Amino acid sequence: ASAKLKLHSFYPGDAYVDWIGVSIFQQVLPWSPPWGGQISDVENVLKFAQEHNKPTMIAESTPFGGIELKQASDAAKESIDGTSDHWDRWYGQVIDIIEKYDVSMWCYINCDWESQPQWHNVGFGETRLSSNKEVMAKWHEQVMSGNSERTFLHLGALDNCGSTTVSSSLGSDHWFTPDHFLSFIVVPFIVAGAAFFIPYYMLGGIRGRRDRSTKRERRPLLADINETF
């Protein structure tokens, strides 16, 4: 958007807003491109929320390029020290923002993006916490343990969090499991069958009752006619 446009130009008013949220992907990284937003853009939104006394959330977030930057661009990899700490580079900065602006909700996308066809080679990479032991340990220490100054209340679950996992892909020998058979074949078949046969039998039953009722009512009617003539 043009630099001339201010946040209040898009703000409908306090009466219509409950929460104000931001997304954080590459903005906290030093090589974040202008089109992707900078940390100053994130902070401008959070300051705006404070001015309007609105609770804030990080509505979606994940370290773009992956925790270990395996999917980051060559220019991005060259711009950092090879010994740079994986936690401090992204997670530490996000937690600093949470503390500074008293962010009330944080949604982290714990995902192996490369294993999903729609996100393969997009650049998000491997962001599962359990994929890096140091990051997993820091997450337990600063987020899950409750020993930090801020208490995080968890909603949902981090499946396989803290354990080594192997993600399946379309090229795996075991990508089609009994769960897939149940979800994609059995359940749709039952639903489609019910959608067809239930109306069929209901309509058939109504038509049958109508036919039987007509026959029963016709007999006394014809008898009355015969008696008249």
56 contacts 21 by C-beta, under 8 angstroms = yes
To 5 degrees, how large is the angle CA 163–CA 169–CA 170? 165
Instruction: Look at residue 219 and tell me whether its pLDDT is greater than 60.
Output: no
pLDDT above 90 (res 54)? yes
User: Taking a C-beta distance cutoff of 8 angstroms, is the pair 139, 148 a contact?
Assistant: no
Q: Output DSSP code: residue 130.
A: G
The pLDDT tens digits for 135-180 are: 999 998 888 876 667 777 776 655 544 444 444 333 444 445 555 5
Q: What pLDDT, on the 0 to 100 scale, is given for residue 34?
A: 73
Mean pLDDT of 100-123: 90
The pLDDT assigned to 151 comes to 73
Q: What value does the mean pLDDT of the chain take?
A: 76
Run of H or E residues at 106: strand 105-106
How far from the centroid of its chain's Cα atoms is residue 56's Cα? 18
Structure-block tokens of residue 131: 């994929």
Please say whether the beta carbons of 106 and 98 come within 8 A: yes
Question: What is the rounded CA–CA span in Å between residue 128 and residue 125?
Answer: 9
Closest CA to 17 of 49, 51, 60, 58: 49
The pLDDT of 17-36, averaged and rounded, is 87
Instruction: State pTM to two decimals.
Output: 0.64
Q: Which amino acid is at 172?
A: S
pLDDT of residue 107: 92
Q: What's residue 212's pLDDT?
A: 57
Using CA atoms, how far apart are residues 55 and 25, in angstroms rounded to an integer?
A: 21
